[in-house]
Structure 1
Amino acid sequence: MIGRVVAQDCSSPARTRETFANYLSCMKQTLDENYGLYENEFREHSRRAALTCFAPTIEEGNRKDRCVLSANDLNQVAWDRHGPLRDCTLCRTFASGALKAFKSTPPEEQKCIRTEMSKAIVREADYCIKKQIPGFVGLPELPDIEEKSYTYRDSVITSLSNHIIILSRLSFCKERKPTRAANTNSCLRKPFPGYLSEHCKVFSKCDSLIAVGSCARTIPQSRKAMCQCINGARDELKSKISSIYNVFNDLLTGREATAIGSSNKVDICVSNVKKQMVTKANDWVSVIDSAINTCVRKPQGQNLGLDAMLNVGCRKVFADTTGTATSQMKIAFDFINNLIDALVERSGRFCGEQCIKS
């Protein structure tokens, strides 16, 4: 256990990596001691931040130049018929299925998935950090900071729902009133005194134990670079997901050369979508499929991979005769991007931006 100040060595990139691993372990150990405290603070403070930074009515939004979101809006569930997916029945069906799968997946399988996804996140961050820090030898294996979350999974789901609704409303506002969205988003970074103060105590404790001596500058530098690069990877992935809409649109409007026959069209559709999910560090379709196949005990004959889902999605798009397929796709991809944002926000609270004195 890390509980006292010991000599820390950041005299070389390899030593810095070892010490940064100790720093991350310190954070995990501290969180594990009272995980419920931090989970509740994150959920409650995030809701309070939204109610502080958004205006509750259109009139007040006009007066304060803020986006509008009421307490009643936050009481909705992001994936039900009153949430951001209200105009996409198929999206709600998929989201509900994913939610049921999450709730019924045993804790050891959830941990396995987090571990596999964490490896991919490290690859993304390593690629980026090596361009920022000369001689950087790579991140250590990230500890599973969500290991205790299974007990609080209902709270986690509520928190994700709140974040998706907040981000969806912010995105809607940005399209129409970009200045208001910027004002609201700026407020959400530091919404009120004492925001996530219990989380800040974790940083203070681990900084005082680990970020000392020759590590006083290098450990905060490593943490900042890691967080910036994870955010950059998030933005790149979101951009690629948004571009999938254009892939479908081009196929539907005939701008993409397709072979005769619906089966060939579907194959081309799946292939083109998968190409959009490749970054310099990862093929995210393969990453997700590999995590599912490695970690989840599937019923015999059932395919839970993204390939199967993409195949179904492409077939439904080409079978659509109502003209609503493209608008529903946009809703779906916006929702996925907001979910990614919400998940990164959960990790981002451990970057400590809210703890920096302005």
Structure 2
Amino acid sequence: MGVLAELGEVAQAMTLSHVQLALSRQVQDRELEACALHDLGVLHNERGNLRGVQSLQQALRLFRAIGLVEGGAYTQLNLATALLLAGQVAAARAALQGALTLADRHGLGTVQTFALAQQGALEVPHDPARAEVLLRAALREQQLNADRPLWEAVEPLARLLLAQARPHEACLLVAAFTRAAQAQGFEVLAMQGHGLLAGLHDHLGQLQLALHHLQAHTTAFKQLRGEEHERRVQALEVTHRTALLRLQAEAEEARAAELTRLLQMDELTDLFNRRHLLTAGAELLRGQPGAVAVADLSSSLLIFRSTERSEYRKKYVAPGVETVRCSPEQSHHEGQRT
């Protein structure tokens, strides 16, 4: 799901998550169900709609019921985002505090990093001093846990420093972040860093540096868009080939089934033939008594079940040979009289 979401295929990722959810409920796998609900909530958050709250709350209840602490902690992080989208700031704070409590209690360093970053970003407009403390604590945790470069803390902290007339500190912070992102291969994060640096240097009147970072940002953006387009084309090609192979397999199965039917059915009477008896007879008679009846229909009396066999009568019945049509009921009564 995450790969599809990163490629921008959120709708397809949501479809697969719904399938996963249905299957998990069918097989009564509560952990898989909780993960599917969590993924749906995250995808709703990425779409910016309000349905993520319900999915994530359901996931949280399941994670708690089955005792998966880490799953519950990550769910509370994403639930906080969903609650903020819904304008429920107090509930979002409570969710973040719950995630922090679990992180402290169970040593979940990455959860603690992101919870501190989200708490700090949330406090920027209300309590800048506390926000800076929380954001710097998040950056320290990120370094201790060797997590990826933390844009979630760097971006709000840089803007906070700029608002406090500390642009040089902001430049140093973002420059270090951008170098780390480039060194670790996080192209998207590096692109974001260059974009923010362009704005900071422009604010300082350092136009040449601003232009340099703007060009780096634009180049990275074009490259990433091109790679994304190529990945989407490749994904579509794979989907097309998969669908084609599935259709071919279905056609082969249908042909095989028809061939099997033709090999085991008499073309004239639509009755099973000797080959069917040799193929399926042992299985039909296994564990139960049975008998085989053989009838010779090659004499002068031919019985046809319907008028659809007229072409066979013309082809196979010699002139002067009597043909009789009878229903199954008539055949039954004739058998009783004999």
TM-score class, shorter: under 0.3
Higher relative contact order (CA 8 A, sep 6+): 1
With normalisation by structure 1, the TM-score equals 0.20
Q: Which is helix-richer, 1 or 2?
A: 2
With normalisation by structure 2, the TM-score equals 0.21
